[in-house]
Structure 1
Amino acid sequence: MTSSRAAALAPLPGEPELRVRLTWLSVFRAVATSLLLTVFALRLLASSTTSELSRRDTLAFLGIGLIYVLTLIYGLWLRRGRVGRSAAIVQVAGDVLIASGLVAATGGADSPLAFTYSLAVIAASILLSQRGAFVTAAACSGVYGAVVATHLLQLGSEPPAALLVQFSFTYASNVLAHFLIAALAGFLSRQLLAAGGRLSASQADLRRLATLHQQILDSSPSGLLTCEEDGRISFINRAGLSILGVDEGAARTRRVQELLPGLPVMERVPRSELKVETARGPRILGLTLAPLEGTGHASRLIVFQDLTALRRAEDELRRADRLAALGTLAAQLAHEIRNPLAAMRGSAQMLAQDGAEDPGMSRLTTILLRESDRLSRLVEEFLRFARPPKPVARPVELEQLVRETLEMLQTDPLSSGVELELDVRPVAATVDPDQLRQVLLNLARNAFEAAGAGGRVRVSLASEGGVVRLCVWDSAGAIPESHLGRIFEPFFTTRSGGTGLGLATAYSIVRAHEGRLQVASTPETGTEFTVELPLAAEEVQGARAGSG
């Protein structure tokens, strides 16, 4: 029952499969014919019997040679012609005729080549299924009976009874053999078809599973990498290539230690972090190492994720928390300082009026007034950092704002001798223009001061993906890596006379606009501050319509 169902599910042989079967049968016939030619050739050479036997052998030899030539012609036809059921019928009919010719030429009922009918039946079971095998067995039995009857007629009108019994037994045995072989070969052919159907279904399932497996690996956001014990990379998925910034060909030719320098020893590691340099810049990776089970050798599986953005967001969150705490404390402290400072300045003014005729008193009161004014400005700046005013946002043409601000800075002594490059594009956004101008002033003045005479400063403005990017770059690249994490903290400065509030204030303003302020600095590439501000939904639609 199971075999019948499997056979029913097995696909019928199409043209490619039928062509393969016919080709192999033609090859088998060519090989068998070659062997028969060799055997008969040796027999003719060594024959010393009667002339009648020699004539029979000679006819058989010539018949086999003709079969050999016809096989070659049929093979060429199979190669060039269209293969269908008719080609299979021609093949089987030809086998029956060839077997009949060989039997008739080699003795009829006494022929040693009566087994060739069985070969025709087997070929029919392979090409035409079990029903075709039984039809071929019946045809072989009928043709063989005609050959045997012809042979008996050649013996005379009344052959001996013993000879009739012998020929009848031989004929019956061969007919029984034909049908038994048809049944057995048909059963085996049916089982072969069923097995082929199951194999085809299994191969299709395997291909679908392999496709699904590849899609899962390609869609995984985590990098997956397998390597041998010596570090040779055997597999890396699409996410891994993207994270490391390499292509698959380059990755396969490198060792895992080259792509992940500083990788822990190739043992099981539950979780670790590794900072690596990639073509896309420095990246912080979260790694998990484990042995690859079932491979039979010391292969390793490395799963890694790009934690750079997450760590940057965590740093910004911690910085914002510190700034909020410092801002609260600073506001309270500045408020407490402002009142006594105002009283001190008022007292100094009264002293200046009372001691106007005393030069020494006048000089001291002048110093008191100047320093109290300086402290007052510092307190005001500190209060702007601690409690920045809420942005008064309105639509602004940022290109015009950037150009006007930089034109104003051309008169600043810090810009003297500095080459300024502009790459600004028309961008409209809803921002507080005064606060954004203050951010640009702080960043540009710092860049002019860092670059110095003979240096270069580049300011660029563009929008992409719903985000405005304002970048200020200088050629100095003088910020040490150890300072990058603290550069936006208040009172942190590396310049003498600086308050350390300029970048902290700029950072607070950008955060109030729901944006981000980032910095990257190396001696080779310079220092770049990037301000990212979100575009409103209507501004994004307007930008898309303008680009379209």
Structure 2
Amino acid sequence: MSERPSAEGYRAATDSVHIPDWHVLRLFNQYRLLVLLVLGSVYFLSENQLTLGTRNGGLFIAALVGYVIATLVFVLTIHLRKPTVNTQFFLQNYIDILLISVLMYASGGIQSGLGPLLLINLALFSQVSSARHAFLFAAIGSLVVLVEELLSNIIIGTYASDFEATAVLGALLFAIAWVMTVPVRRAMNRQLVNASHSRVGLNVEQIAQLNEEIIRELDSGVVVIDKAGNVQLINDTARGLLAAEFMPMPFHLRQLCEELLNNVNASELSPNREIRPFTVESTGQSVLPQFIPLSQSGMLIKLDDHTHILQQFQQLKLASLGRMSASMAHEIRNPLGAISHAVQLIEESPGLAANDANLLQIAKRHTQRINRIIEDVLQLSNRQQVRTSVVSVDTLLSDFAQRFCSEHNLSADKLTVRTEPCSAIVDPGHLDQILWNLCTNAQLHNDSDNVVIDIHCWQSERAATVIEIVDNGKGISDMERANLFEPFYSTHHAGTGLGLFIIRELCELNKAHIECLPSESGARFRITLAHAQDMAA
């Protein structure tokens, strides 16, 4: 059942809407300038106008110039906000009535057609004033127009005045004052009260509970701190990202995360600095912060899982790559097969010269390279389902070393394996491919006859199996390491730029982690395989 608004609420709504302020005064003054611009343009630029200033041109110009000066003075007083808003509001309306009446007299009186300016001014005035003030100014306007017509009758003659039109204008002034302050305002207040009732469907406590629930369920972490750095609000996502699930409130941001506090201080010193992710020491979690200053000298800190953001970005790149690979298989592989077949037929020709044979070998080698690029792209876009199992990693590494040395004609000292009994949950085919690509890269980027590859496997403190592949080659610079796992990034003229990218994707499929570590000599890759808890997560 709807509830009728009380008389106090009705009056409060009325008072809260119809009060003049500085913004209203500024709008009124802009309207006044526009009217004066139109009147001045018509009077000075139109040669055939027969209304403005026809009775007394000098008086019209003087009144118009005085009106412009008064309006410019109002611009200054509104800017300075002196005197008070109410004083300026009533003073401006008094001057409007007086000067518009003078302009009317100089232009022929009530017959000049300038009377509607008084109606418009009164309608605007009534919107931000009480009913009694609106009727007061309607009476003042009617009286001033009547005096203007009496002066015309006395000074000029009876033919210069029109008291019937004056009475009509006065009646219209009172009608406008009543319409704008009683029925129109009553309708506006009714809408305001109805809107206020519709907005109070939820009380303050319910809104607070709803806000808390929304913040708690956000995918992003939210931390609110005050000016002193004390945490006022933190949701469950932020606690999980910062490893503070069981930390009781209240606490300082330094207790929550020292690195986050350093980022907050840096953002306050340089608000336009580039936002960079930081790593939580206790969990190794990469977190991307965003700092939003609040109105009450506090700060809202928004935290996102940077690893998850990068994964989403990579998924978009993979989706584009998948669409491209389907076109590549049809548009490139078929003509490439025809070229390769033609090269083979020419090689079988009995009268082939030695120079031509060398050129054919170059063509054959490059067609094989193009085919390898296509196979890498297709392998990346059509990844098979992961078939994980508990794998004896030490046994797999020993078998891999023997097979790799056999297929590449390497001696046993070129690829050594140091391992302890370790096991992990991984797809053995994927792990074999990862090791194969890493060892092949070590030979490709170095002298394959002199490079020595060492594979070391052990179990970490967290019961995770770790594999390190280290070579004694020329190594990898810091700049190259930053982009090493990006697709189509290669440091070798014969590389496709997809090998290490595929390795990283295979690691992510198996919930493993690969990284390239700095090394004094050669390249050093570390693979951390997942254990049972990671696979269940």
TM range (shorter): 0.3 to 0.5
TM (normalized to structure 2)? 0.43
